[in-house]
Structure 1
Amino acid sequence: MRIREKAALAVAGLAVAAAGGTVFAGTSGAVGPSPSPSVQAAETSCVTDGAGMCTVQHALGAVPAVVVVSANTPGQFNAYMLNTVQGSYTATTFQVRAMFDQTTPKAGGAIWFSFAAYGGAPVTTPKPPSTTLPPPTTTPTRPTSATPTPTPTTTMPPETTATPPGGGSGLGG
């Protein structure tokens, strides 16, 4: 910044201070990748869907790292809260949601707001994660015999028709 520009800023700051405003000392440049970060700021409007959401187009050419939104309400009784929708950022759009309170969306209504979208990394196709698996482990098993184990059998003595020892006819006697 040249001396003349710094002096003009100082005079403007004094004028704001004299009018009762807040003055921030110093100036700062844009922060980000060289030569300068990608930023888009605009004012826009849209009509919300049944959930109070609408999609906004941007021209960053990259998925924004950050999007800041600020509602611009035209009337004193038309206030709504405005937030970006988590996970909705793409290389060309993002979504906002307008709510009257924590549980009531501004459904099917026009909303006006300003936004600033700060560029993130350029859009690239992600590589799938490596799926290198460890070698399979083997569990020792008991060897099996090729011949089946014979089923044990019991041999019963043959039935005899002989007379029990001690003789007799079995009629008591």
Structure 2
Amino acid sequence: MRTREKAALAVAGLAVAAAGGTVLAGTSGAVGPSPAPNVQAAEASCVTDGAGMCTVQHALGTVPAAVVVSANTPGQFNAYMLNTVQGSYTATTFQVRAMFNQTTPKAGGAIWFSFAAYGGAPVTITPTPTKSSPTPTKPPTPTTAPTTVAPPTTTSELPGTTPPGGGSGLGG
């Protein structure tokens, strides 16, 4: 905040205080990661080569961990897709490629775009394993052959009984 802005804020605070209001004034620092990340955001333009590519200068002073680009097309019939070129990042430059479609580069044409280059080491995100339910198992198949039981034999007499007539077998 500049000195003039601070003075205006102080005068406004005094006026509110004189009117019987509560003044909450002061300056605060930026809230965010510490140390602040190294970021450069800008607008750029260039003329592409035969493959639809051009080299862009940046001022990070280090190889960017990521670069985000967004095409700014001035006319309704001048649309193109814009991407960064993998492996092209250096401490001072990166490359972009403009394409009309997946197979046709915007060769030898002017392109306009915005970019944000982020310095520092790239963040690697490792997926956390998800818990899976156990796979149901089938009961084991028996390995022994089932035993067979012989059918019972039928007799007319039950064991331990005497034949009718109660006889002793002696004629009588």
Q: CA deviation at 1:29?
A: 4.6
Gaps of 5+ in 1: 1-27, 122-173
Deviation beyond 4 Å, 4+ runs, structure 1:
28-31
Give the aligned residue type for 2:38.
S
Q: CA deviation at 1:30?
A: 4.3
Q: CA deviation at 1:65?
A: 0.3
Give the aligned residue type for 2:114.
S
% identical equivalent positions: 89
Match of 1:49 in 2: 49
**Deviations 1:13-70 (CA, angstroms, capped at 9, x unpaired):** xxxxxxxxxxxxxxx9544xx3200000000100000000000000000000000000
Q: CA deviation at 1:72?
A: 0.1
**Counterpart mapping for 1:1-173 below 5 A:** 29-31=31-33, 34-121=34-121
Looking at structure 2, the residues matched to 65 and 53 of structure 1 have their Cα atoms a distance apart, in angstroms, of 20
What SS class does the counterpart of residue 114 from structure 1 fall into? strand
Gaps of 5+ in 2: 1-29, 122-172
Match of 1:160 in 2: none
Mark the CA change 1:30 to 1:67 in structure 2 (over 3 Å): closer, same or farther: farther
Looking at structure 1, the residues matched to 115 and 62 of structure 2 have their Cα atoms a distance apart, in angstroms, of 16
Count of matched residue positions in the alignment of Structure 1 and Structure 2: 93
Are the aligned partners of 1:71 and 1:114 in contact in 2 as well (CA < 8 Å)?
yes
What SS class does the counterpart of residue 63 from structure 1 fall into? coil
Give the aligned residue type for 1:37.
P
What SS class does the counterpart of residue 96 from structure 2 fall into? strand
What SS class does the counterpart of residue 63 from structure 2 fall into? strand
Give the aligned residue type for 2:55.
T
What SS class does the counterpart of residue 117 from structure 1 fall into? strand
Normalized per residue, the structure richer in strand is 1
- What TM-score do the two structures reach when normalised by structure 1? 0.51
Looking at structure 2, the residues matched to 105 and 113 of structure 1 have their Cα atoms a distance apart, in angstroms, of 16
Mark the CA change 1:81 to 1:29 in structure 2 (over 3 Å): closer, same or farther: farther
Give the aligned residue type for 1:43.
E
When the two chains are superposed, the root-mean-square deviation of aligned CA atoms in Å is 1.6
- What TM-score do the two structures reach when normalised by structure 2? 0.52
Match of 1:19 in 2: none
**Deviations 1:100-159 (CA, angstroms, capped at 9, x unpaired):** 0000000000000000000024xxxxxxxxxxxxxxxxxxxxxxxxxxxxxxxxxxxxxx
Looking at structure 1, the residues matched to 100 and 32 of structure 2 have their Cα atoms a distance apart, in angstroms, of 34
Looking at structure 2, the residues matched to 40 and 85 of structure 1 have their Cα atoms a distance apart, in angstroms, of 18
